[in-house]
């Protein structure tokens, strides 16, 4: 039995609030149960030095957690003087996943920065960030299209993410914090709209996992991602 | 005429959402017009090294701004590797102002950290932070009282803050960003529930100001703070 | 009774030594009683990036304290790897106050950096820094005029600063360390040559202060600043 | 055809030099083709603060690359003042993978740090690091057993890693730099001696990958890891 | 001919002002021509962690230069966020040289920190720092003796330093900045009261130097140091 | 008797392995007994900002130690976030010494960086680094000559270094760690091919040293350097 009483293959309630703040070109509050992440997309008419003059754009991401997004207050990374390894790992993952969905040449010499800031954490903040950031990215690009700054969309696929894991010996979908901290195995799946994998990251937190367990987790995650992608499209009014 | 069409002595709509997030002992979203700050109060059963063993508690504050809280994206302080001078100045001010309202000995060997994170900025983020943090502090202390961890409240006064300034030659209350960036003089007032000053910070951004202008600003601010304090009490159900 | 036996409205002996070091365009040792600050003005023929190509100059300040300027040795900020919040706050204040006295366009594309280094501290180092830095700035600008690099002075007003506070219930002028560390209220006033305010920063260290107390402090400070400005002009041989 | 003329399922020559340096409790130079990593295991009789007094040990890892391990000189992280995101990600992965093989309670209150320093890079440095670090860890633990500091080995399984990827549309094993930088998909597999997964990390560098491709890569990697584990045991004289 | 018209073996005027600032246990302004360094000695009743509980004391030094001690303003190390290589090298040299003169066991569990801050630079700041710091150290230790905190002096020898170099092909003593920046060879000598060497640091800035040149420099420096040591003793009233 | 049974004037076995790694333009593993340093020379077609457009090149060095090069593991400087004073001092010395051997104008607008990374330490790492770096520099320059990028060699002299010291009252050559950590006096000599001094750095670790001792050390070191230079030339096939 899951702590949340959910069935093994049941997602948490998923909600997108577009336009959550007013300055960003895309601003989406994504809520997966009690996990709430504010994803903003900021468009800037310049690219990092390594891309200058190549006629290509760039998609990057930054991730942060408010100090009291968690049960125990965590130290603010700005006061520590650096981002931790976990933060860097997550923001590299978000950026990489969204770049997989965008034709950077079609974007032109522009950067879009996805800032994913966790207001409240209950497990799955990295997958929620990716899921929400894709919607914010869409809003930012739709704005560029609407203003005529782009003639066609450089986004060629849909991106969503979910976690799966083995909890009390049972493969379960979309782990919350109570499950995540006790899971034997934890896997994050990121997939495109055609059901192909953009990223697979499975970790044996406790005991190593067999090929059979891996297969069960992949199937569970793929089914969950299909539901999430339906919700993303609904949020965008499609 | 003010850009927002407000009268010179008119506050922006002020709203407090208590319990905005679930982990913190106090969690208040304060909105002053389009400025929105999440103020959380975190109680910890320890004090900084310089206070160890003195039977006293501590109140401190940290301030941050999400990168896209502003019209142009600002660099995340965690990636820069340090908090800027403005941030340090503001968080020192918030902490100092709230300590003025608390009997640290009556608090016992506890720390309460007020995290003020700006989700959306439109001028007056430091005064909104102080105003909201006081409500979050009350919620955290009320929790300690309710759980019997404290017998009586160590908070002996109410704290609220507002900005006043001279805009187009006219003293105005509660400046938004459009006014703030064009004001000749900018003043932040922090007052207690008895109408006394906790902090007065006036700066001639453009031209120096006369004693008469200072008097006008002080009067305008004191009237505004009385309204804000009424709203704080209403939010707390008093 | 003040620890120094001074009357409530009595300044400490104030002394300016111009040309204290030989390399800087302006170099003034200012002594307010036992507080001694070396203020140097350095002229450079370039401006910060954000001002490039605008035909305007820049005035900025840096503040430091020698490790043993104080009774207890303080850690050197260069070894800590960063300037503390207090340092940043003070140097921002010095720079802002002096910019209020200068027509940056008339200065041309030049920077003047005021370095205020405290050799010995006994309270009031930030106000002494401002008072001394203005004299150093004058010397640097007079040099530019003498060498024909500027046709007329971009300095349009005189700037001086003093602290006032409530000590043992009595408003007093120009607090030394013994008073400062015990004061209920501490206020720094920065005024121009016409008696107008450039900056007012009042803080309730202990108890909040009333409007009557504020008025008394403002009057005491204004009178003190008039004496300081007379001393500044005398030091410059006017 | 692979640039190295290898068959798709062919590993690069793999060599372990134990006792490569003399100070460390375990010191192994691992060579996978032209990739050479020095893995040292350092035993210390203390644990990190978060484990103090729990009767458990700790395994951790650090990763570095000599500035000219690569074709173009990279900036030394010690002069940059911080480890980059890639470095942190890799060393977290190495530490996590080896902890999966060790009973930390049986290790007692000891730390073993695995330093993996790349002397020469030609792709696959993170998997070579894990493979080599496990051998160094064995040597360090065997020393503890030989000196009677441990009665039985806390290492309960064998750990090895390999990369697989899709290069020119073909799944290949153990990518070198030429393949790695051109691969569409890159996957790192870490497995135990029973053929179970400790970590699976697959990334679509170019195009997303299908379930069929994922299955092919998993099979290819599992076969490669069996060979690597045979070589590890041979190096240890088993 | 030397720029300063001095004979090759002529020191610059040397002056010690003891008690230059009032807080430090030793405070000496040393002036070697236009080079002026404030050397303070701070006594603290604790030792660094690596010496705890060994019944020994510690002598250490820190070195700094005010930004405008030099002809061109240099960036403040506190704003750069770290001490440069030159600074670290000099402060390590000062500390090491003074430790050579002190019986650390006889000092007891105390630290004495020598802060050497250059107010004005004209070459030879590191040797002036050592020369002045020894006088400040004596004053600090004499205070400990006078207050009965030490029964006998732990200082067993006198320490002084001077620079010598080859300028325009001629060995010269006590180089000023004009000579230093043009010298082919630059050597710093640190000697004790018995004419023995504590440190010899010779560098070929331009052309390598022969054994004969080295001998000439050593003789010139030894003679200079005897004069400096006489001046040190005179300053201390001996 | 020396711990290593060597005669006082006996060097440790010295070995150079050229082409130790394959990417760098020069790559030399130098072994002095148990001290092993990998010295790579990296040629880049650019110069630091302060040399831009002057038609001159630059030679610089960086030094590092692997964490377990030493008997006790030392903290990695990349994780500390800065290079220590000892590291900076050594790399400044290496760079300065090699620049003394090169006509920077004849090098053209190129930088050569010598990275000296200690794989195993047993005393004398800085002198071994200089000795090995000169061989690596030669290999890099020979490559430029061979590829026709330079018409004639900018290296005008040979550079080698050795340590000498007073151990148990006896002057000895080429100290290993056991001697170095117990020596009364420690001196590093760096000389050119004509037997002239590039750098002399002598430090009284324990007791100050006399002129006679200094002379003995200089003679011992000069004889050792002649042998080392013979070995350098042999390694280069001359």
Element (H, E) at F123: none
pLDDT score recorded for residue F122: 98
pLDDT in the model for residue B238: 85
3-state secondary structure E186-216: EEEEEEECCCCEEEEEEEECCCCECHHHHHH
- Mean of the pLDDT values across residues A32-52? 97
Residue E191's pLDDT is 98
CA separation for the pair E193, B25 (Å, rounded): 67
Task: Give D68 to chain F, closest Cα distance, Å.
Answer: 6
Stretch A117-124: mean pLDDT: 98
Asked whether F177 and F186 are in contact (CB, 8 A), the reply is no
Instruction: Express as a percent the part of chain F with pLDDT over 70.
Output: 100
| Type and span of the H or E element at B194 | none
Largest CA distance in chain E: 56
Nearest to A144 by CA among A109, A117, A101: A109
pLDDT band at B206 (very low <50, low <70, confident <90, very high): confident
pLDDT of residue D206: 78
Q: How far apart are the first and last CA of chain C?
A: 35
Provide the token pair at C11.
């300044």
Sheet (strand D58-65) strand order: D14-18, D26-32, D35-44, D111-120, D58-65
Asked if D79 reaches chain F (Cβ–Cβ under 8 Å), the answer is yes
Determine which of F19, F22, F23, F95 to mutate to test the interface with D (most D C-beta atoms within 10 Å): F23
Task: Tell me which chain A residues have a C-beta less than 8 angstroms from the C-beta of B82.
Answer: 78, 81
The Cα F102–Cα F144 span in angstroms is 14
Checking F145-151 for CB contacts under 8 A at 24+ apart, the result is F150/F106, F150/F107, F150/F108
Q: Is C98 exposed, middle or buried (0-12, 13-18, 19+ CB in 10 A)?
A: buried
pLDDT at D14: 98
Cβ distance C200 to B199 less than 8 Å, yes or no, reads: no
Cβ-Cβ contacts under 8 Å between E and F: the total is 89
**Cβ pair D120:F23 closer than 8 A:** yes
- Report how far residue A131's alpha carbon sits from residue C142's, in angstroms, rounded to the nearest whole number: 63
For the purposes of burial, counting CB atoms within 10 Å of the CB of B8, is it exposed (0-12), middle (13-18) or buried (19 or more)?
Answer: middle
Side-chain-facing half-sphere of C214: CA atoms under 13 Å:
23
If we measure between CA atoms, which residue out of D165, D197, D195, D159 comes closest to residue D181? D165
Contact between F20 and F27 (Cβ < 8 Å): yes
Look at residue D166 in the predicted model and tell me its pLDDT.
96
Q: What is the pLDDT of residues E128-142, one digit of tens each?
A: 999 999 999 999 999
Which residues pair with residue C176 across a beta bridge?
Answer: none
Structure-block tokens of residue A73 = 């207050």
| List of residues 6+ apart from D176 with CB closer than 8 A | D3, D4, D12, D33, D34, D35, D122, D123, D124
Indicate the average pLDDT of chain B: 97
The confidence score (pLDDT) of residue E136 equals 98
Residue-wise pLDDT for B32-46, tens only, equals 999 999 999 999 999
Residue C126 among known ligand-binding residues:
yes
Whether the CB of D187 is below 8 Å from some CB of chain A: the reply is yes
Long-range contacts of A180-188 (CB under 8 A, 24+ apart): A180/A123, A180/A124, A181/A123, A184/A209, A185/A209, A185/A213, A185/A217, A187/A163, A187/A217, A187/A221, A187/D200, A188/A93, A188/A126, A188/A127, A188/A161, A188/A162, A188/A163
Percent helix, strand and coil across chain F, each to the nearest 5? 30, 30, 35
Tell me if D55 sits within 8 A of D144, measured CB to CB.
no
Query: How many angstroms separate the Cα of F189 from the Cα of each of A69, A179, E232, F207?
Result: 59, 64, 32, 20
Q: Which residues of C touch E70 (CB under 8 A)?
A: 23
Q: How confident is the model at residue A1 (pLDDT cuts 50, 70, 90)?
A: confident
Mean predicted confidence (pLDDT) in B209-230? 97
Distance from CA of E209 to the nearest CA of F (A): 5
Instruction: Please report, in tens digits, the pLDDT of each residue of chain C (238 residues total).
Output: 899 999 999 999 999 999 999 999 999 999 999 999 999 999 999 999 999 999 999 999 999 999 999 999 999 999 999 999 999 999 999 999 999 999 999 999 999 999 999 999 999 999 999 999 999 999 999 999 999 999 999 999 999 999 999 999 999 999 999 999 999 999 999 999 999 999 999 999 778 999 999 999 999 999 999 999 999 999 999 8
Give tens-digit pLDDT for E81-128: 999 999 999 999 999 999 999 999 999 999 999 999 999 999 999 999
Confidence of residue A142 (pLDDT cuts 50, 70, 90): very high
CA D30 to chain centre: 10
Question: Residue E218 above 90 pLDDT?
Answer: yes
**Structure pTM?**
0.94
CA nearest to F78 within chain D: D78
**DSSP, residue by residue, E1-44:** --TT---TTPPPPEEEEETSSSSSSEEEEEEETTEEEEEEEEEE
Tokens standing for residue B52: 């160890």
- Residues B124, B175 contacting (CB under 8 angstroms): yes
Q: Indicate the average pLDDT of chain D.
A: 97
What's the fold here for domain D14-236? Ribosomal Protein S5; domain 2 (3.30.230)
Question: Which residues of chain F lie closer than 8 angstroms to E96, CB-CB?
Answer: 203
pLDDT at E238 (0 to 100): 85
Give strand pairing partners of D169: none
Mean pLDDT of B117-132: 98
Contacts of D197 in chain A (CB under 8 A): 202, 204, 208-211, 214
F62-84 tens-digit pLDDT = 999 999 999 999 999 999 999 99
How far apart (Å, rounded) are the C-alpha atoms in residues A40 and A162? Answer: 20
Nearest CB among E44, E68, E117 relative to C40 is that of E68
pLDDT tens-digit profile of D44-83? Answer: 999 999 999 999 999 999 999 999 999 999 999 999 999 9
> DSSP string covering A52-100, please?
TTSS--EEEEEEEE-TTSSSSPPPPHHHHTS--HHHHHHHHHHHHHHHT
CB contact at 8 A, E42 and E105: no
Both tokens of F2, joined, read 């020396």
Banded model confidence at residue F207, pLDDT cuts 50, 70, 90: confident
Binary contact (B211, C218; C-beta < 8 A): yes
Edge-to-edge strands, sheet with F111-120: F14-18, F26-32, F35-44, F111-120, F58-65
- Confirm or deny that F124 is annotated as ligand binding: yes
| Residue E227 structure tokens | 């004069």
With an 8 Å Cβ cutoff, are B23 and A68 in contact?
yes
Over the Cα atoms of chain E, what is R_g?
Answer: 18
Question: What is the value of ipTM here, to two decimals?
Answer: 0.96
CA distances from C12 to A34, C128, C176, C178 (A): 61, 11, 8, 13
* Distance in angstroms (rounded) separating the CA atoms of residues F140 and D68: 13
Closest CA to B62 of A66, C12, A35: A66
User: Using one digit for the tens of pLDDT, what is the confidence trace for A189-237?
Assistant: 999 999 999 999 999 977 899 999 999 999 999 999 999 999 999 999 9
Report the range of poorest mean pLDDT among A146-150, C227-231, D193-197, D202-206: D202-206
- Residue A238, pLDDT > 90, answer no
3-class DSSP assignment, residue F100: coil
Enter the tokens of residue E231: 């001046």
> Strand, helix or coil at D145?
helix
Give the span between the Cα atoms of A11 and A162, in whole angstroms.
9
Q: If you average pLDDT over every residue of chain E, what do you get? A: 97
User: Domain ranges in chain F?
Assistant: 14-236
Contact B165, B179 (CB under 8 A): yes
> Could you tell me which chains touch chain A, where touching means 3 or more CB pairs under 8 A?
B, D
Pick from C89, C156, C200 the residue to mutate for testing the B interface (most B CBs within 10 Å): C200
Residues of E in contact with C36 (CB under 8 A): 21
C86 to chain B: which residues are within 8 Å by CB? 92
The DSSP code for C196 is -
- For residue F238, name the pLDDT band (cuts at 50, 70, 90): confident
Dihedral sign, Cα of residue F39, residue F45, residue F51, residue F55 = positive
Q: Which of C147, C51, C43, C152 is nearest to C103 (CA)?
A: C152
- Look at strands A111-120 and A58-65 and give their pairing: parallel
Determine the residue of chain C that is closest to E42 in CA distance.
C73
- Dig out the tokens for A148 from the structure: 């005529």
């Amino acid at each position: 039995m899951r702590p949340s009483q959910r069935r093994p293959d049941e997602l948490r309630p998923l909600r997108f609030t577009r336009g959550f703040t007013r300055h960003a070109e895309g601003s989406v509050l994504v809520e997966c149960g009690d996990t709430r992440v504010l994803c903003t997309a900021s468009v800037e008419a310049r690219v990092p030095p390594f891309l200058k003059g190549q006629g290509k754009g760039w998609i990057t991401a930054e991730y942060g957690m408010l100090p009291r997004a968690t049960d125990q207050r965590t130290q603010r990374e700005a006061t520590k003087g650096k981002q931790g390894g976990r933060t860097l790992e997550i923001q590299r993952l978000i950026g990489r996943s969204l770049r997989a969905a965008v034709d950077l040449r079609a974007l032109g010499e522009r950067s879009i920065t996805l800032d994913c800031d966790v207001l409240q954490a209950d497990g799955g903040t990295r997958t929620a960030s990716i899921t929400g950031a894709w919607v914010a990215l869409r809003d930012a690009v739709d704005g560029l299209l609407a203003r005529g700054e782009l003639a066609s969309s450089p986004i060629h696929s849909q991106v969503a993410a979910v976690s799966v894991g083995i909890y009390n010996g049972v493969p379960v979908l979309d782990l919350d914090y109570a499950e995540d901290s006790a899971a034997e195995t934890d896997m994050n799946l990121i997939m495109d709209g055609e059901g192909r994998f953009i990223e697979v990251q499975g970790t044996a937190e406790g005991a190593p996992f067999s090929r059979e367990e891996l297969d069960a987790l992949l199937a569970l995650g793929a089914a969950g991602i299909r539901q999430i992608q339906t919700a993303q499209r609904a949020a965008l009014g499609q």
